[in-house]
Each structure stands twice: as structure tokens, then as C-alpha cells.
């Protein structure tokens, strides 16, 4: 569904040169494909993301080293605005639910990769916290690469 937009560059009335028309197709913004790195403003509730986190460790010898650890889970919601925006991610590890809250503008976050996207109708998916109760359901995936 591509719409075409006609752009007109008018010449000055003094020269009397003909008016040129340039046609350029206007494309709708694409949905992010799976496996790509998301920008901070593209993260939404219902997306399953792989968040790469920078962790500093101290070895037994007292040497500092830095490594990247991946946390993969579903985004329950994004809160706040501006610099104080936070992201809540949940995964189930060995039968135990683990939720982490990350500040989006933190230097700890290296990158956020999109794994898949689910169709959701809410901004905060708090009903996924306790799946044993009333809202036990799977989310419908919209697209997976």
C-alpha cells in the first residue's frame, strides 16, 4: 500500500521558467523485523527481546573484567519518560519467574534485539505475572523471522 506524493518546486515569477514536478513514493513505516537491534523508542509491551547487559566482575586475583550477559524475555511494560524511562522484562527460568527492571538510558545496556512480537491490547502486561490464575493464555504472535 504505497501512496505517491507529488512535490512541486516553483520557479520565480520573474524568470518565467517552467514548474518542475518530482514524484517520490511515500512509504509507510515498517515494523521491525526479528533479529534486528531496536532503538530505545521502538520497545513496546508484548515484544520478546534479547537484552545485552554489560557486567563488571572482579576475579579472585582482584582483576576487573567486563563481560556481556544476555537476558531474554517478554517486555511487560515501559514506564516513565525522557531519561528516567524504564523497561520491565520477564522470563521464566527453571520454573521460576524472573523480572528485571532496566533504565533504558543506562550505559549498562549494550543493545536490545527483537526476537518476536505478540499482538497485545494493553500497555502493561501485568496479567502475565501470575499465569496460574484467571488470565492463563498464550499471546498471539504477529510476525517472526
Q: Give pLDDT tens digits for 94-123.
A: 888 899 999 999 999 999 999 888 888 888
Global pTM value = 0.66
Q: Is 3 helix (H, G, I), strand (E, B) or coil?
A: strand
Indicate the domain borders of the chain: 40-143
Q: What is the DSSP letter of 40?
A: G
If we measure between CA atoms, which residue out of 84, 74, 85, 69 comes closest to residue 47? 74
Please, are residues 102 and 51 in contact by the beta-carbon 8 Å criterion? yes
Q: Give pLDDT tens digits for 34-65.
A: 678 888 888 889 899 999 999 999 989 989 99
Residue 21 has a pLDDT of 57
**Cα gap 134→8, rounded to integer Å:** 58
If we measure between CA atoms, which residue out of 16, 8, 31, 40 comes closest to residue 107? 40
Q: Is 24 helix (H, G, I), strand (E, B) or coil?
A: strand
CATH of the domain spanning 40-143: 2.30.30.790
Amino acid at each position: 500500500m504505497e501512496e505517491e506524493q507529488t512535490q512541486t518546486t516553483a520557479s520565480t515569477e520573474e524568470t518565467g521558467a517552467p514548474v518542475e514536478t518530482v514524484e517520490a513514493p511515500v512509504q509507510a513505516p515498517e515494523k521491525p523485523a526479528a533479529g534486528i537491534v531496536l532503538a530505545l523508542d521502538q520497545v513496546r509491551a508484548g515484544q520478546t527481546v534479547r537484552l545485552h547487559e554489560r557486567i563488571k566482575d572482579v576475579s579472585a586475583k582482584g582483576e576487573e573484567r567486563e563481560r556481556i550477559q544476555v537476558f531474554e524475555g517478554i517486555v511487560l511494560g515501559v514506564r516513565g519518560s525522557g531519561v528516567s524511562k524504564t523497561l520491565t522484562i520477564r522470563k521464566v527460568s527453571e520454573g521460576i519467574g524472573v523480572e528485571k527492571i532496566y533504565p533504558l538510558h543506562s550505559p549498562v545496556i549494550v543493545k536490545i534485539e527483537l526476537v518476536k512480537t505478540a499482538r497485545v491490547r494493553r500497555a502493561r502486561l501485568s496479567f502475565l505475572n501470575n499465569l496460574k490464575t484467571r488470565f492463563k493464555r498464550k499471546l498471539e504472535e504477529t510476525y517472526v523471522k
